[in-house]
Amino acid sequence: MTSPSKPGLTVAFFASDKGPGDPERASLMGEAGRIFARKGARMLCLAEQGALPVPLITAARTAGGTVEIIADASIKVPQALGEVPITVLPDRAERLAHLAGAASVFVALPGSLASVSALFGSWAAGPPRPVVMLNRHRAFEVLRGFATDVLAASVAGYDRKVQFADSVEDLWNKVSWVSDQAR
């Protein structure tokens, strides 16, 4: 059973369709975009250095979702996404701080090292936000081990701040739960 819509939930997605990585990531992005759109989440997508999570944005919009792109000046939005609002912030630190200030929750999908770097840059740039990582094909297994070994012993309530979902279906449930815990 999935959670009902959460009014006011803004989710920053960190996903990349560039470079080596999970061959299923385009379908994972599409599935995540559809689920979050149907649940009424507002989605923020980071786009840098020519990398734009097109499958996530396309699926979310097709499902009636609200999406905004936070981008550097290199991003060329495909004509099909021309109506998606885009905020261009030339400075990377400014982009990451903007995401940190605007999002309620961060979601990391399997992708490139660049998207993980941006996730942690945003996490460090602003007020503390819960993070949920889709650990498909053990993409974030090292971070899961770190959370279990280090965070559990040193950060009170770390499990309300960092979660790992093993499937796209479970991703919304984890995001919903951590957003409730953060309130």
For 151-176, the pLDDT digits (tens) are 666 767 767 788 889 888 899 999 99
The percent of residues above 90 in pLDDT, for the chain, comes to 50
Backbone phi and psi for residue 70, each to the nearest 5 degrees, phi listed first: -110, 115
Name the band, by pLDDT with cuts 50, 70 and 90, for residue 53: very high
Judge whether residue 91 has pLDDT over 90.
yes
Q: Which residue has the higher pLDDT, 161 or 88?
A: 88
Positive or negative: CA dihedral 17, 58, 65, 34? negative
Task: Tell me what percent of the residues of the chain surpass a pLDDT of 70.
Answer: 85
- Range ranked top by mean pLDDT from 18-27, 44-53, 55-64: 55-64
SS3 label, residue 87: strand
Q: Please give the average per-residue pLDDT across 104-124, as a whole number.
A: 85
**5 has a pLDDT exceeding 60:** no
Give the count of beta carbons closer than 10 Å to the beta carbon of residue 94: 13
**Secondary structure E strands in 35-130:** 42-47, 66-71, 86-88, 105-108
How many helical (H) and strand (E) elements, i.e. helices and strands, does the chain have?
7, 7
Q: Are 65 and 9 in contact (CB under 8 A)?
A: no
The secondary structure of 139-170, three-state, reads CCHHHHHHHHHHHHHHCCCHHHCEEEECCHHH
Which residues, including other chains, have CB under 8 Å from residue 156's CB and lie 6 or more apart? none
